[in-house]
């Protein structure tokens, strides 16, 4: 609003929106990332979302939600509520009004939950499964994402690969070391231990920071470099956790690894 209380129409400005009841925050949506703040039934959540679709002056307000409680919205049980209210999935986000073109069915639409939990206690809805994960990235890059993920699973045994809001990430013994950001034309890939593991080292760590645009980029030279960085990263992380054993996952030692969860073939 402006100083006189009028509505300022700035559609390209990023905003943070709250839905309140008697001063109690129920839902926050910031940069298309939604956080539920109290426990709600599905019916109550529908009322909250109805209010979210209204601007301050009563006009209909378009809504886009890419994540829910820091989980991919398409894989969350909220997807079923959104779908019933006319939201549609496109490029990993739920949109209202629906975008033109063919809509995809969110994997989370089949999940039943009498109550929807607030962010701090809302568990991750799914594991690393293509049925849930691949619809979160643009269609144009999905075949290449699948190939790259298969390569990482093969070359990084003992690493845990999980999905964030819209992208897969990998960790070794609880320390993050793989980042992937899929775009329409390429995948931004970083393989480098998280900063906390590199502090105190005598030499600067040389990881991988590259764009993968085609399967030809995943050649023998790339795989050789990937293995070098993997082995070096594990040495750095093991040394870091030896210095700080309190940061290691419970029940593990410097020789323990986390298993990569199995993936099904879509």
pLDDT string in tens for the chain (266-residue length): 445 655 555 555 567 899 999 999 999 999 899 999 999 999 999 999 999 999 877 889 999 998 899 888 888 889 999 999 999 988 778 999 988 776 777 877 777 788 999 988 988 765 545 556 677 788 899 899 999 999 999 999 999 887 766 678 889 988 889 999 998 899 999 999 887 666 655 556 788 999 999 999 999 999 999 999 999 999 989 988 888 888 777 644 433 333 333 333 33
Tokens matching residue 56: 């301050």
107 three-state secondary structure? helix
* Rg of the chain on CA atoms, in Å: 21
Q: Give the pTM.
A: 0.62
Q: Is residue 115 a contact partner of residue 39, using CB atoms and an 8 Å limit?
A: yes
The values of phi and psi at residue 119, to 5°, are -55, -45
The pLDDT assigned to 29 comes to 95
How many residues in the chain? 266
Task: Please return the burial class of 93, using the count of CB atoms within 10 Å of its CB with bins 0-12, 13-18 and 19+.
Answer: buried
The pLDDT assigned to 265 comes to 35
CATH class for the domain made up of 130-247:
alpha beta
Tokens matching residue 20: 């309140």
Task: Quote the CA–CA distance of 118 and 68 in Å, as a whole number.
Answer: 10
Half-sphere exposure of 205 (CA within 13 A, CB side): 26
Q: How many secondary structure helices (H) and strands (E) does the chain include?
A: 6, 15
Domain residue ranges of the chain, discontinuous segments joined by +: 16-121, 130-247
The pLDDT assigned to 197 comes to 67
Instruction: State the Cα angle at 247 between 123 and 245, rounded to 5°.
Output: 145
Distance of CA 72 to the CA centre of its chain: 5
E-state strands within 69-220? 71-72, 88-90, 93-96, 115-116, 160-163, 168-172, 175-182, 187-191, 208-212
Q: Nearest-CA neighbor of 11 among 63, 49, 58, 52?
A: 63
Residues 37-65: b if buried by 16+ CB within 10 A, e if exposed: beebebeebeebbeebbeeeeeeeeebbb
| Locus of tokens 């939990």 | 117
């Amino acid at each position: 609003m402006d100083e006189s209380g009028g509505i300022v129409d700035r559609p390209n400005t990023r905003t943070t929106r709250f839905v309140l009841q008697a001063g109690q925050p129920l839902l926050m949506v910031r940069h298309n990332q939604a956080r539920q703040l109290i426990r709600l039934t599905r019916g109550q959540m529908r009322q909250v979302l109805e209010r979210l679709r209204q601007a301050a002056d009563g006009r209909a307000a378009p809504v886009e939600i890419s994540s829910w409680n820091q989980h991919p919205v398409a894989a969350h049980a909220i997807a079923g509520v959104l779908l019933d209210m006319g939201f549609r999935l496109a490029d990993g986000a739920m949109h209202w009004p629906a975008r033109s073109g063919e809509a995809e069915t969110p994997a989370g639409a089949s999940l039943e939950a009498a109550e929807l939990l607030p962010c701090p206690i809302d568990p991750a809805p799914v594991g690393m499964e293509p049925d849930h994960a691949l619809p979160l990235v643009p269609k144009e890059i999905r075949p290449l994402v699948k190939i790259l993920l298969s390569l990482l699973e093969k070359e990084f045994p003992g690493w845990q690969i999980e999905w964030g809001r819209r992208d897969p990430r990998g960790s070794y013994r609880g320390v993050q070391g793989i980042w992937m950001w899929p775009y329409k034309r390429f995948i931004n890939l970083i393989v480098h231990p998280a900063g906390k593991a590199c502090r105190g080292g005598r030499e600067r760590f040389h990881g991988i920071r590259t764009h993968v645009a085609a399967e030809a980029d995943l050649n023998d030279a790339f795989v050789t470099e990937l293995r070098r960085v993997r082995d070096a990263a594990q040495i750095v992380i093991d040394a870091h956790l030896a210095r700080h054993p309190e940061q290691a996952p419970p029940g593990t030692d410097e020789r323990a690894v986390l298993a990569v969860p199995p993936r099904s073939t879509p």
